[in-house]
Structure 1
Amino acid sequence: MAVLARKQRFPFPDLPDWFEDFPARFSMPAMADLHTMRVEEYTEDGRYVIRAELPGVEVKDLDVTVEDGILTIKAERTEREVDKHRSEIRYGSITRALALPKSADEGDVRAEYTDGMLMVSVGLGEEKPEPKHIEIKHAM
């Protein structure tokens, strides 16, 4: 009696590769841009500098605050009231909060906005000491 051996082939050989970049395949770049603010951070001339890409935002729609070592940038791109045939531009509010270095001087903050780029610089002073750890005694 002959036994037929059937070699089963996987119908989707590239499926494991497909799932490797699963989040990237299903993200919606246009919607992601609405909710993210691309930044770069660096130190230059004794200042901590943050540059944020904010095209299409007017200065009146920007708000920069510093509190407790956190720099917060808020922006809003408002929709123009015109009869549109098509619009691929995303509108709405975005916020980004960034931790400042320990040596940041919150009293020395400057901001400029030119050609869709917001540049915020914070003066750097002496590094603040590390927190002091307190020994805890066990009482019985």
Structure 2
Amino acid sequence: MSTSLSKWAPWNWLRKEQDGRALPVRRGSKDVSPLWRVHDEIDRVFDDFFRGFGLPSLFTDDWPRAGDGAMLQPRLDITETKNAYEISVEVPGVEQDDLELSVQDGVLIIRGEKRQEKREDGERYHRIERSYGAFQRELNLPADADADRIEANVRGGVVRIKVPRRADVASGARRIAISNA
């Protein structure tokens, strides 16, 4: 086998994110009404209750619910071809100017912020379900990723990142000769 099995393990891509750092999440302004705060708290209590029994969350939004130190975490897909890795990140409602991609020490960092629309004087919200705030995803690049040639574009609320693969990277596997003793 020409490649190492650990390179393909899905958790290797996301191991940098597992250190627990969270960015703040805002779901509209909390001055909407005291009733909204009660509604939000009841939702959280029921969600925690059902999760305690191993049942799925009642909330299946693409953006996590506010509170509990939650972090906006856009969903992503990672695929590979013979020549490249392709990463698609959902960022609906995020402007291109509010996105930033960088590579540092073999980690692809995707940062952005989903901003709340400007509020007009006299407007009263009746319900706010969308989340706002900063997000950051950190993906550990495999050994054969060519970080110097990464390309990205955004269209329709999806950032598409192409990470070319280098052919010159040794697999790390070697054959061991067996001798007669």
User: Normalising to structure 2: TM-score of the pair?
Assistant: 0.54
Q: How far did 1:45 drift?
A: 5.1
1:122 equivalent to 2:155? Answer no
Q: Which residue of 1 aligns with 2:44?
A: none
Q: 1:19 to 1:107 in 2, by over 3 A?
A: closer
1:89 and 1:116 map into 2 onto residues whose CA distance is 15
Q: Which residue of 2 aligns with 1:88?
A: 129
1:104 equivalent to 2:136? Answer no
Q: Which residue of 2 aligns with 1:78?
A: 115
Q: How far did 1:128 drift?
A: 4.7
Q: Which residue of 2 aligns with 1:41?
A: 78
User: Normalising to structure 1: TM-score of the pair?
Assistant: 0.69
Q: How does 1:56-67 map to 2 (within 5 A)?
A: 56-67=93-104
| Same amino acid, percent of matched pairs | 27
2:72 and 2:132 map into 1 onto residues whose CA distance is 10
Q: How far did 1:129 drift?
A: 5.8
2:65 is paired with a residue whose SS is helix
Give, as a single letter, the amino acid of the residue that structure 2 aligns with 1:98. L
Q: How far did 1:27 drift?
A: 9.7
Give, as a single letter, the amino acid of the residue that structure 1 aligns with 2:117. R
Q: Which residue of 1 aligns with 2:92?
A: 55
Note the aligned Cα RMSD (angstroms): 2.9
2:103 and 2:59 map into 1 onto residues whose CA distance is 35
1:60 is paired with a residue whose SS is helix
Query: Which protein is richer in strand relative to its size?
Result: 1
Q: Which runs of 4+ in 1 moved over 4 A?
A: 25-29
Deviations 1:96-135 (A, max 9, x none): 00011110111111001000000111110032564xxxxx
Task: Give yes or no for contact 1:39–1:53 (8 Å, CA) kept in 2.
Answer: yes
Unaligned runs of 5+ in 2: 1-49, 173-181
Q: 1:27 to 1:121 in 2, by over 3 A?
A: closer
Give, as a single letter, the amino acid of the residue that structure 2 aligns with 1:66. V
- Structure having greater relative contact order (Cα 8 Å, sep ≥ 6): 2
Aligned length: 114
2:77 is paired with a residue whose SS is strand
Q: 1:78 to 1:108 in 2, by over 3 A?
A: same
2:58 and 2:96 map into 1 onto residues whose CA distance is 35
Which one is further off, 43-52 or 83-92? 83-92
Which one is further off, 32-41 or 22-31? 22-31
1:24 and 1:100 map into 2 onto residues whose CA distance is 31
Q: Which has the larger radius of gyration?
A: 1
